[in-house]
């Protein structure tokens, strides 16, 4: 009986040892469709690759306000080992010390430079872009055909693009518009980058009276003159995609997220895509990169395992699968020659333009600095005031600068 008891205890000890050898990596990310998408990636790629290492991966979505919930979990030391970090809120997380610098942990060389820059502060890289978007010109082919105006192309300048929009309006009259103009820094700022404007100076201050910003602001709002451009609200829409789907607007300035929307809401719309126009003087175009990265919790007890998971989730095989499934635009430069981009479909053509946009001209991340989302409010208020005819450009920018100074001097 003693021998039997000894054997039983030995078996239990062995089982306990095996169980303790199992490492669980918890991932935090968005809710919505992401649990299904990431779950699929874990089952297809992560589990097979890590089975021999006895690493289990669990995806725990954060519903609602992601940044607020992640901040709370990090403060309580309950966040995942690996988690999403939106590019626009990176600075706030870096300040907490809760992000592990990835220098020497992950090789970022294979990724698009503008995306690496979006997650790098002071020479330290805090996340690897899992995917991204940039802005493109998405145009209604039927409207241009009816107006007998050539489609927008990748060689447009600010002037040539404006001339085409004006020609469309002149040809088709009051019921049609050249472009949808959302009063939003996220749809106007790329023109400021092309003109040479930098959102923050060496002291972290923002100058909205910089001639480069003023010229871009005036160009964008000037597109609204004589109803060549129209705000979404004027067509009972809440974004540019809705404007384009209405069949009343020739161009929307949007990213790849518009493809799925048009497929569902305007399946018969014939559309094309082109790169953002170049500034006539600088000869450069500007663009945003909207990106979310994979980061590692600096407090994780499983750094090596977390790094393995991150590397698999950003691997060539995973990114190629995500691209070919039409789920997102990959962040690896090597995928620019993928056959998907050569497909003669509107969606693939837009994806190609989005991918090219990340490396063409002056490309900056969509981010707010240490002020957070409040930083864009003075700009958006000024855009809305001018586009609606309530203020002149000069008065709106003067007020915006005053409001920005108040915000940044707190």
Q: What is the CATH number for 318?
A: 3.40.190.10
Q: Tell me which of 95-104, 171-180, 366-375 is least confident.
A: 366-375
Q: Is the pLDDT of residue 87 over 90?
A: yes
Cα–Cα distance measured from residue 318 to residue 256, given in angstroms and rounded to the nearest whole number: 19
Q: What is the DSSP string of 139-182?
A: EEHHHHHHHT-PPP-TT-BHHHHHHHHHHHHHHH-TT-EEEE--
* Same domain, yes or no: 264 and 144: yes
Q: Is the pLDDT of residue 83 over 90?
A: yes
Asked whether residue 7 is domain-assigned, the answer is no
- In this prediction, residue 2 carries a pLDDT of 45
Domain of 220?
A: 136-288+368-408
Asked whether residue 261 is domain-assigned, the answer is yes
- In this prediction, residue 199 carries a pLDDT of 97
Cα–Cα distance measured from residue 220 to residue 160, given in angstroms and rounded to the nearest whole number: 14
- In this prediction, residue 327 carries a pLDDT of 83
Please state, for a pLDDT cut of 70, what percent of the chain lies above it.
95
Asked whether residue 363 is domain-assigned, the answer is no
Cα–Cα distance measured from residue 334 to residue 315, given in angstroms and rounded to the nearest whole number: 11
* Same domain, yes or no: 327 and 399: no
DSSP secondary structure code for residue 6 in this structure: H
Cα–Cα distance measured from residue 136 to residue 276, given in angstroms and rounded to the nearest whole number: 6
* Same domain, yes or no: 117 and 148: no
Cα–Cα distance measured from residue 304 to residue 243, given in angstroms and rounded to the nearest whole number: 48
Whole-angstrom CA distances from 4 to 1, 28, 282 are: 5, 46, 85
What's the total number of domains in the chain?
2
Angle at 12 (CA atoms; ends 9, 17), nearest 5 degrees: 125
- In this prediction, residue 18 carries a pLDDT of 47
Q: Quick one: angle between helices 377-387 and 211-222, nearest 10? A: 40
Structure tokens at 336: 């620019």
**Which of 262, 223, 233 is closest to 139 using CA atoms?**
262
Asked whether residue 44 is domain-assigned, the answer is yes
Q: Count the Cβ atoms, other than its own, within 10 Å of residue 225.
A: 12
Mean pLDDT rounded to a whole number for the chain: 94
Residue 292: strand, helix, or coil: strand
Average pLDDT, integer, range 40-64: 95
* Same domain, yes or no: 229 and 307: no
Residue 66, Cα to own-chain centre: how many angstroms? 15
* Same domain, yes or no: 247 and 201: yes
Structure tokens at 331: 């962040």
* Same domain, yes or no: 251 and 334: no
- In this prediction, residue 20 carries a pLDDT of 54
How does residue 273 score in pLDDT terms, banded at 50, 70 and 90? very high
Q: Is the pLDDT of residue 16 over 90?
A: no
Asked whether residue 358 is domain-assigned, the answer is no
- Positive or negative torsion for Cα 170, 243, 350, 113: positive
Q: Is the pLDDT of residue 314 over 80?
A: yes
Pairing of strands 229-230, 249-254: unpaired
* Same domain, yes or no: 116 and 181: no
Task: Mark which of 304, 324, 342 sits at the end of a domain.
Answer: 342
Cα–Cα distance measured from residue 384 to residue 403, given in angstroms and rounded to the nearest whole number: 15
* Same domain, yes or no: 125 and 172: no
Cα–Cα distance measured from residue 404 to residue 91, given in angstroms and rounded to the nearest whole number: 18
- In this prediction, residue 7 carries a pLDDT of 44
**Which of 273, 257, 276 is closest to 265 using CA atoms?**
257
Asked whether residue 51 is domain-assigned, the answer is yes
Asked whether residue 1 is domain-assigned, the answer is no
Cα–Cα distance measured from residue 170 to residue 179, given in angstroms and rounded to the nearest whole number: 13
For 233-267, the pLDDT digits (tens) are 999 999 999 999 999 999 999 999 999 999 999 99
For 107-162, the pLDDT digits (tens) are 999 999 999 999 999 999 999 999 999 999 999 999 999 999 999 999 999 999 99
**Which of 406, 380, 375, 355 is closest to 91 using CA atoms?**
375
Residue 399: strand, helix, or coil: helix
Instruction: Give this prediction's pTM.
Output: 0.90
How does residue 11 score in pLDDT terms, banded at 50, 70 and 90? very low
- Positive or negative torsion for Cα 73, 314, 361, 392: negative
Strand partners, 294: 84, 128
Q: Is the pLDDT of residue 21 over 90?
A: no
Asked whether residue 386 is domain-assigned, the answer is yes
* Same domain, yes or no: 194 and 206: yes
* Same domain, yes or no: 33 and 111: yes
Residue 296 in contact with residue 100, Cβ under 8 Å? yes
Cα–Cα distance measured from residue 369 to residue 96, given in angstroms and rounded to the nearest whole number: 14
How does residue 371 score in pLDDT terms, banded at 50, 70 and 90? confident
- In this prediction, residue 31 carries a pLDDT of 94
* Same domain, yes or no: 187 and 100: no
How does residue 8 score in pLDDT terms, banded at 50, 70 and 90? very low
**Which of 373, 354, 380 is closest to 137 using CA atoms?**
354
Structure tokens at 384: 């809305």
Q: Is the pLDDT of residue 13 over 50?
A: no
Residue 142 in contact with residue 251, Cβ under 8 Å? no
* Same domain, yes or no: 295 and 244: no
Q: What is the DSSP string of 92-139?
A: HHHHHT-B---TTTS--TTB-HHHHHHTEETTEE--EEEEEE--EEEE
- In this prediction, residue 289 carries a pLDDT of 97
């Amino acid at each position: 009986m003693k021998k039997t008891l000894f054997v039983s205890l030995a078996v239990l000890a062995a089982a306990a040892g095996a169980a303790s050898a199992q490492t669980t990596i918890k991932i935090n990310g968005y809710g919505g469709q992401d649990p299904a998408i990431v779950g699929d990636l874990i089952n297809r790629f992560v589990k097979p690759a890590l089975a021999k290492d006895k690493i289990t991966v669990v995806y725990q979505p954060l519903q609602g306000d992601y940044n607020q919930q992640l901040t709370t979990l990090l403060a309580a030391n309950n966040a995942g080992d690996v988690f999403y970090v939106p590019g626009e809120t990176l600075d706030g997380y870096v300040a907490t010390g809760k992000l592990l610098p990835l220098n020497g942990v992950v090789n970022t060389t294979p990724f698009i430079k503008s995306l690496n820059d979006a997650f790098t502060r002071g020479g330290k890289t805090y996340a690897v872009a899992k995917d991204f978007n940039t802005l493109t010109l998405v145009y209604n082919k039927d409207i241009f055909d009816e107006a007998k105006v050539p489609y927008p192309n990748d060689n447009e300048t600010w002037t040539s693009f404006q001339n085409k929009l004006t020609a469309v309006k002149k040809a088709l009259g009051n019921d049609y518009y050249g472009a949808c103009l959302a009063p939003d820094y996220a749809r106007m700022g790329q023109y400021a980058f092309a003109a040479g404007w930098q959102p923050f100076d060496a002291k972290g201050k923002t100058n909205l009276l910089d001639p480069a910003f003023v010229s871009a602001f005036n160009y964008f709002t000037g597109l609204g003159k004589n109803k060549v451009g129209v705000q979404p609200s004027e067509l009972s829409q809440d974004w540019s995609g809705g404007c384009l789907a209405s069949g009343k607007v020739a161009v929307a300035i949007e990213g790849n997220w518009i493809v799925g929307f048009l497929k569902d809401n305007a399946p018969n719309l014939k559309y094309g895509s082109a790169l953002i126009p170049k500034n006539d003087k600088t000869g450069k175009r500007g663009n945003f990169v909207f990106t979310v990265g994979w980061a590692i919790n600096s407090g994780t007890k499983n750094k090596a395992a977390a790094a393995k998971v991150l590397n698999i989730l950003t691997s060539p095989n995973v990114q190629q699968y995500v691209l070919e499934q039409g789920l997102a635009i990959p962040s690896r430069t090597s995928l620019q020659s993928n056959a998907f981009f050569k497909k003669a479909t509107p969606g693939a053509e837009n994806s190609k333009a989005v991918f090219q946009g990340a490396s063409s001209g002056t490309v900056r991340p969509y981010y707010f600095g240490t002020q957070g989302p409040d930083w864009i409010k003075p700009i958006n208020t000024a855009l809305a005031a001018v586009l609606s005819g309530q203020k002149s450009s000069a008065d709106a920018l003067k007020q915006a600068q005053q409001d920005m100074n108040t915000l940044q001097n707190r």
